[in-house]
Each structure stands twice: as structure tokens, then as C-alpha cells.
Amino acid sequence: MDLDLLSTTLTAAGEPTYRAKQAWAWQARGVPDWDAMTDLPGDLRAHLEREVPFSTLTLEHEATARDGTVKALFRTADGRPVEAVLMRYRDGRRSLCLSSQSGCPLTCTFCATGTMAFGRNLTAWEILDQALHFRRIEEVDHCVFMGMGEPMMNLDNVLAACERLPDLGVTHRRTAISTVGWVPGIDRLAKSDMPIRLALSLHAPDDALRSEIMPVNDRHGIMDVLAACDRWYDRRKRMVFIEYVMLGGVNDRYEQAVALGRLLDRKRHKINLIPYNPTDSRYDGSSPEAIAVFRSVLERQGYNVTVRLTRGRDIDAACGQLAARAGA
């Protein structure tokens, strides 16, 4: 819901400002419509129903994977596709994966979103409405900005949305922003009052390979990006998650694991190896054996390494598969 539009509509109707707070409190609790907001007068509810869309997004398509992952495809009012995912884990965690942009201006060669046309930055309300959609299905407690787009290129709106996520049950400490390594954004996040976590999509242990698969590396090279992550760590004293997508024969060799271990710092970095989710790209995922070897090399160097549990692959809801195929 566009809370700015709500405020101006309430003011124009001569309503007190606390009405906006009441409406937001209901939204954050996951009510389905204006009518459920029982402490607003009936005629006001009817007025708001006409004047303020309940969501800035229209749901166009929704699919549930065998593992319970739900992917939603929305359209903004100006027709831009936006995808978001709800991941359900056996331990009860409910994690939102939100988009910060419609499409993405970066062109990482292995990512489906990078191959679609870039639309625009999403507003804070369009980001929050993704979360509210799932909150209406069930309670949620974690959030990652790992959907479409580069959150650090739309950081004002991402942070404005983050400010309100705790009202939905998602604390800042359970929120993570994932970036290709957009240095000015990392520095700004370090200065934010919100203790949001940082994840870096590294994917290669050297600049030559990283530039090949992530052209943004020509602008922000590995050393500059890691220096920004160090500044973030020095302020926050929390580990940076290093994401590393495992591409068969590209970045998964033994020497590359050794080089990655030398490049990083076991005290500051936690490594998350990501099994590659098939897209229309030219890459194959590494074999489970190659991932296991890569992992053990890093563990022997003292790193905390996890292999990401793949969710929602059968409905193209997994990392890098969000390309709004349905009608885009």
C-alpha cells in the first residue's frame, strides 16, 4: 500500500493522522482488505477502498513448488513484472526473497534476471507489498534481498522498506542484503542504524574470471569490494556472507578453492556455496562431488562453509531463475 497516498487521502478527507498508523498496523498483521480494519469507521473504509489501492502490485501468477516454496509474479501499476518468493524450511523458518528492481541493469552472464530488459527501481511500497502478500498467507521471520535487481542501486527504497519489516515480524538482524559488490552501497549500509546483514556475490577468486562472468567487476574490482566489506565488518562486527555459485569447469577447480581461501579471511567471511540453478545460459552446475571437494578445501583452511539448500527449482523460483517468463 502506498502509505504516502494513504496519508494525503486521509488529510484531504479531514481525518486525524493516527488513522494511517491504524491502517498500517492492520496491513502488517496480514489482513486481506480494508473491511477487516474494524477500528476505522465504515464510511472511511469505503472511501479508502475507492481511493487507495490495497496493494501497489497486482498478483498475476502464483506457483507452489513441491518443497513448499511459493513464487509470486506481480505487475506494478505501470505494468512492470516483479517476482518474489516465500521459502519454507523444515525447521519452521519462513524466509522472504524480495526484488528491489524490475529486471536488473547488471549483466551477470549466469543469471536469468540479467538477460531480461531492465525496467526500473521499485518504490519502497512496491518492495513492502511483496512482503505483505506473503504475510497474508502466513507469518514470516526472515528476509533476503536476493530477488530481481541490485538492491544497492536502489538503496534508499530498500532501506525505507526495511524500516517497516520488523512490523511484519522480520527483524533487521534477520534481514540480509545481497550485492554484486556495489561499493558506495556497501559503505552506506555500514553507516545505517539498522543492523542488516551483508551478503556479497563473489563467484570468482580472481579479477579476470570475475570480470568475465560479472561485467560489473570492471567497475568495482575484487580488492575494492573486499575492502568495502572490511569497512562494513569493522563497524558491524558481524560476518559477511560470501556467495559463490558453483559453475562446472568455470570456477570450481581445486586451485580456485585454494585461491579463494587465500583471498578471504576466515574471521570475517562465511562462505555459502550455491549449487547452480539451470537457466537458458551456457553454464552447467558443478557436480555434487566437485562441490564437496571445493567445500572441504575451504574447511581445511578454517572457513565456515555451507552449501545452499536449493528451493523451488521446479517452478523456476530458485536463485537466478527469476526472469518473469510468464508473459514478460
Give the up-direction half-sphere exposure of residue 107: CA atoms within 13 A in the CB hemisphere.
6
Give the position of cell 562431488. Answer: 289
Q: Which listed range, 128-136, 158-166, 174-182, 183-191, lies at the site for ligand SAH (CB under 6 A)? A: 174-182
Our CB check for ligand SAH shows the closer of 87 and 111 to be 111
Q: Which residues of 301-314 are buried (b: 16+ CB within 10 A; e: fewer)?
A: bebebebbeebbbe
Burial of 7 per CB tally in 10 Å (0-12, 13-18, 19+) = middle
Task: Give CA 301 to chain center in angstroms.
Answer: 30
Q: Which listed range, 30-38, 73-81, 154-162, 276-284, lies at the site for ligand SAH (CB under 6 A)? A: 276-284
Using an 8 Å Cβ cutoff, are 101 and 118 in contact?
A: yes
Q: Active site includes 104?
A: no
Binding to ligand SAH by CB under 6 A, coded x per residue (else -) over 3-42, reads ----------------------------------------
**What are 247's strand-pairing partners?**
285
The residue within the footprint of ligand SAH, chosen from 86, 158, 159, 245 (CB under 6 A), is 245
CA pair distance 146, 55, nearest whole angstrom = 21
Task: Give CA 282 to chain center in angstroms.
Answer: 24
The answer to whether 130 contacts ligand SAH (rule: CB under 6 A) is: no
The answer to whether 277 contacts ligand SAH (rule: CB under 6 A) is: yes
Smallest distance, ligand SAH to C-beta of residue 290, A: 15
Our CB check for ligand SAH shows the closer of 185 and 261 to be 185
Q: Which listed range, 42-50, 108-116, 229-237, 262-270, lies at the site for ligand SAH (CB under 6 A)? A: 108-116
The residue within the footprint of ligand SAH, chosen from 73, 98, 111, 209 (CB under 6 A), is 111
The residue within the footprint of ligand SAH, chosen from 48, 124, 132, 146 (CB under 6 A), is 146
The answer to whether 276 contacts ligand SAH (rule: CB under 6 A) is: yes
Hey, what's the cell of 194? Answer: 539498522
* 328 DSSP assignment: -
CA pair distance 35, 16, nearest whole angstrom = 19
The answer to whether 2 contacts ligand SAH (rule: CB under 6 A) is: no
Binding to ligand SAH by CB under 6 A, coded x per residue (else -) over 309-328, reads ----------xx--------
Smallest distance, ligand SAH to C-beta of residue 279, A: 5
Q: Active site includes 83?
A: yes
Closest by alpha carbon to 189, among 233, 223, 143? 233
Which one of 49, 83, 97, 299 is the catalytic residue?
A: 83
Alpha-helical runs (H) found in the chain = 3-12, 18-28, 42-51, 112-115, 124-135, 155-168, 183-191, 207-213, 222-236, 254-263, 288-300
The answer to whether 180 contacts ligand SAH (rule: CB under 6 A) is: yes
Catalytically active residues are 83, 319
Binding site for ligand SAH (CB under 6 A): 108, 110-111, 146, 150, 178-180, 201, 243, 245, 274, 276-277, 279, 319-320
